[in-house]
């Protein structure tokens, strides 16, 4: 499969921000702040790359999302004059749902988890005959995510390890495969919650059907992966290893970002730091950086974490 990262860089230029990289010398790692995008998430990269690749541009789009991808598609729709409908799980964070609506998207809540919302969105897109924009199961979405790597290596040429949140796999496959082309010596480490470890099971056991989901702070990473997703086949080539985290470790990282970095980071975006603070990933052997994938967290959730971070 040809993932055209350079074409993606050109296509999304002017629609996404060049996000900053900072270093925390106390813990010896850097951060790529994708939470500084307009929708406070990296998802704008893949959404714009996919939608701008459609020719002619459609009048309407449908997507399924836990939140951040829906925000990205809604922003692209507003920018390009396209109507957008987003199917979300019933428990999707209100901060994300209300922002989608502010951007002009029609939001439909679906009983159940992310997989249920995604399945409903796919069915509705087929029924209406309009494009479905997948959060991860699309080469253009994956290539858009990979533009993070190219940008980051220009900012930090000595980067030796990247910690990447893992949900449906679009982000880690894009980042990992872009790194393989530019700097194959970089170690790519996936990070996720043990409460929703679908691609962990895929990588190490070759199957995901035995996963049992639990509530998690990483709502942006939660949910089953679409059967036949391209990310399942790309995963082994893109990632060196995946580590699992406990919810308390993720909460501690959210609190650390808020108190030490003065940044609001959602659970999905905090997993890279959590892997280091928990001791599950070392930083002494090579320059290590984490993708801060998103910063959309309900205030009530943030307040609860800050009151009881561990």
Q: How far apart are CA 38 and CA 246, in angstroms?
A: 30
Note the pLDDT tens digit of each residue in 197-206. 999 999 999 9
Given the DSSP bridges, would you call strands 187-193 and 241-245 parallel, antiparallel or unpaired?
Answer: parallel
pLDDT score of 233: 95
Residue range 119-142: mean pLDDT, rounded: 97
Task: Convert 134-173 to b/e letters by CB count within 10 Å (16 or more is b).
Answer: bbbbbbbbbbbbbbbbbbbbeeeeebebbbbbbbbbbbbb
Phi and psi dihedrals of 141, rounded to 5?
A: -70, -45
Q: How far apart are CA 47 and CA 58, in angstroms?
A: 14
Residue range 232-253: mean pLDDT, rounded: 97
Residue range 295-302: mean pLDDT, rounded: 95
Residue 309 has pLDDT above 70, yes or no: no
Decide: residue 189, CB within 10 A, 0-12 exposed, 13-18 middle, 19+ buried: buried
pTM, two decimals, is 0.95
**CB within 8 Å of 1: residues ≥ 6 apart:** 139, 230, 234
**Residue with the larger pLDDT of the pair 22 and 223:** 22
Query: What tokens appear for 67 in the block?
Result: 């939140």
Query: What tokens appear for 155 in the block?
Result: 């900012």
Provide the Cα torsion 48, 191, 234, 155; round to 10°: 50
Note the pLDDT tens digit of each residue in 137-160. 999 999 999 999 999 999 999 999
List the Cα angle 244/249/251 in 5-degree steps. Answer: 125
List the Cα angle 71/76/80 in 5-degree steps. Answer: 150
Beta-sheet strands, E only, within the chain: 21-24, 29-33, 60-64, 83-89, 106-110, 161-165, 187-193, 241-245, 288-292
Q: How far apart are CA 282 and CA 306, in angstroms?
A: 25
Note the pLDDT tens digit of each residue in 28-38. 999 999 999 99
pLDDT score of 90: 92
Residue range 200-220: mean pLDDT, rounded: 94
Smallest Cα–Cα separation from 212: which of 146, 97, 113, 302? 113
Confidence of residue 310 (pLDDT cuts 50, 70, 90): low
């Amino acid at each position: 499969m040809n993932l055209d990262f350079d074409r993606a860089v050109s296509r999304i230029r002017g629609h996404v921000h060049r996000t900053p990289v900072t270093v925390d010398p106390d813990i010896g790692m850097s951060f790529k702040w994708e939470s500084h995008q307009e929708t406070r998430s990296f998802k704008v990269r893949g959404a714009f790359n996919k939608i701008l690749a459609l020719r002619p541009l459609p009048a309407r789009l449908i997507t399924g999302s836990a939140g951040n991808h829906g925000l990205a598609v809604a922003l692209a729709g507003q920018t390009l004059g396209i109507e957008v409908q987003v199917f979300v799980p019933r428990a999707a964070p209100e901060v994300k749902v209300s922002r989608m609506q502010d951007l002009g998207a029609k939001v439909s809540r679906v009983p159940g988890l992310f997989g249920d919302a995604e399945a409903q969105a796919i069915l509705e897109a087929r029924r209406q005959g309009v494009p479905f924009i997948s959060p991860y199961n699309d080469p253009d979405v994956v290539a858009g995510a990979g533009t993070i790597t190219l940008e980051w290596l220009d900012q930090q040429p000595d980067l030796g390890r990247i910690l990447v949140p893992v949900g449906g796999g679009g982000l880690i496959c894009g980042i990992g495969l872009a790194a393989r082309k530019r700097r194959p010596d970089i170690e790519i480490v996936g990070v996720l919650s043990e409460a929703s470890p679908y691609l962990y099971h895929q990588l190490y056991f070759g199957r995901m059907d035995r996963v049992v989901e639990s509530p998690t702070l990483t709502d942006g990473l939660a949910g089953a992966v679409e059967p036949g997703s391209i990310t399942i086949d790309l995963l082994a080539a893109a990632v060196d290893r995946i580590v699992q985290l406990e919810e308390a470790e993720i909460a501690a990282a959210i609190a650390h970002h808020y108190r030490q970095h003065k940044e609001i980071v959602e659970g999905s975006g905090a997993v890279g730091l959590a892997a280091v603070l928990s001791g599950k990933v070392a930083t002494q052997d090579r320059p290590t950086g984490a993708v801060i994938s998103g910063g959309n967290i309900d205030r009530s959730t943030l307040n609860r974490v800050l009151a009881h971070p561990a």
